[in-house]
Chain A
Amino acid sequence: MFEWMVWTGPTAAVFAGLGLLLCAMTIWARVSPPVPRRGFLRIETDRGDRLYIGLISGAAVLAGWIAVTDLSMWLALAAAFLVVLAIGIWG
Chain B
Amino acid sequence: MTAALPSRTEQRREQRTERRTRRTRRTAPSAEDRAPGKRRANRAWLLVLPVVVSVAFTAVIPLMTVVNYSVQDIFSPNDRIFVGLEWFRSVARDPEVRAAFVRTLLFSAQVLLLEIPLGVAVAVVMPRRGLGAPAALVLVALPLLIPWNVVGTIWQIFARPDIGLGGWTVNNVLGLDYNYTLDAGDAWITVLVMDVWHWTPLVALLAYAGLRSIPGPYFQAAQIDGASAWATFRHIQLPRLRGVLTIAILLRFMDSFMIYTEPFVVTGGGPGNATSFLSILLSKIAVGQFDLGPAGAFSLLYFLAVQIVCYVFFTVLTRTGR
Interface residues of A (CB under 8 A from B): 3-8, 10-11, 14-15, 32-36, 43-44, 53, 56, 59-60, 63, 66-67, 73
With contact pairs A43-B320, A67-B93 given, residues A33 and B64 touching in the complex (Cβ less than 8 Å): no
Q: In the complex, what distance in Å separates the CA atom of A41 from the CA atom of B304? A: 20
Shortest 6 CB-CB distances between A and B: which pairs?
A67-B92, A43-B319, A33-B28, A5-B65, A6-B68, A11-B68
Q: Which residues of B contact A32 (CB under 8 A)?
A: 28
- A6-B311 in contact (CB<8A): no
- B68-A35 in contact (CB<8A): no
Interface with A: B6-14, B74-82, B126-134, B267-275, which one?
A: B74-82
Which single residue of chain A is at the shortest CB-CB distance from B90? A66
Task: Kindly provide the distance from the CB of A87 to the nearest chain B CB, expressed in whole angstroms.
Answer: 13
Q: In the complex, what distance in Å separates the CA atom of A7 from the CA atom of B68? A: 6
Q: Which of B50-95 contact A (CB under 8 A)?
A: 61, 64-65, 67-69, 71-72, 74, 77, 80, 82, 85, 88-89, 92-93
B20 CB within 8 Å of chain A:
no
- B71-A8 in contact (CB<8A): yes
B315 CB within 8 Å of chain A:
yes
- B89-A59 in contact (CB<8A): no
User: Scoring B residues 257 to 284 as 1 if CB is less than 8 Å from chain A, else 0, what string do you get?
Assistant: 0000000000000000000000000000
Q: What secondary structure prevails in chain B residues at the interface with A? A: helix
B49 CB within 8 Å of chain A:
no
Q: Which residues of B contact A35 (CB under 8 A)?
A: 26-28
Q: Which residues of B contact A59 (CB under 8 A)?
A: 304
Q: In the complex, what distance in Å separates the CA atom of A24 from the CA atom of B19? A: 34
Task: Kindly provide the distance from the CB of B307 to the nearest chain A CB, expressed in whole angstroms.
Answer: 6
B308 CB within 8 Å of chain A:
yes
Q: In the complex, what distance in Å separates the CA atom of A38 from the CA atom of B308? A: 20
Q: In the complex, what distance in Å separates the CA atom of A34 from the CA atom of B29? A: 9
Interface residues of B (CB under 8 A from A): 26-29, 34, 61, 64-65, 67-69, 71-72, 74, 77, 80, 82, 85, 88-89, 92-93, 301, 304, 307-308, 311, 315, 319-320, 322
With contact pairs A11-B71, A67-B92 given, residues A5 and B304 touching in the complex (Cβ less than 8 Å): no
Which single residue of chain B is at the shortest CB-CB distance from A9? B82
Q: Which residues of A contact B68 (CB under 8 A)?
A: 5-8, 11
Which of B26, B29, B67, B304 is within 8 Å of A60, CB to CB? B304
- A8-B82 in contact (CB<8A): yes
Task: Kindly provide the distance from the CB of B302 to the nearest chain A CB, expressed in whole angstroms.
Answer: 11
With contact pairs A5-B61, A33-B29 given, residues A63 and B92 touching in the complex (Cβ less than 8 Å): yes
Q: Which residues of A contact B34 (CB under 8 A)?
A: 33
Task: Kindly provide the distance from the CB of A77 to the nearest chain B CB, expressed in whole angstroms.
Answer: 11
Q: In the complex, what distance in Å separates the CA atom of A8 from the CA atom of B70? A: 11
Q: In the complex, what distance in Å separates the CA atom of A67 from the CA atom of B305? A: 14
Q: In the complex, what distance in Å separates the CA atom of A44 from the CA atom of B320? A: 9
- B85-A3 in contact (CB<8A): no
Which of A6, A33, A60 is within 8 Å of B74, CB to CB? A6
Q: In the complex, what distance in Å separates the CA atom of A8 from the CA atom of B85? A: 13
Q: In the complex, what distance in Å separates the CA atom of A59 from the CA atom of B305? A: 10
Task: Kindly provide the distance from the CB of B280 to the nearest chain A CB, expressed in whole angstroms.
Answer: 21
- A66-B89 in contact (CB<8A): yes
Q: Which residues of B contact A60 (CB under 8 A)?
A: 304, 308
Can you give 7 A-B contacts (C-beta < 8 A)? A6-B69, A6-B80, A11-B67, A11-B71, A43-B322, A59-B304, A63-B92
Q: In the complex, what distance in Å separates the CA atom of A61 from the CA atom of B307? A: 14
- A53-B71 in contact (CB<8A): no
Which single residue of chain B is at the shortest CB-CB distance from A7? B68
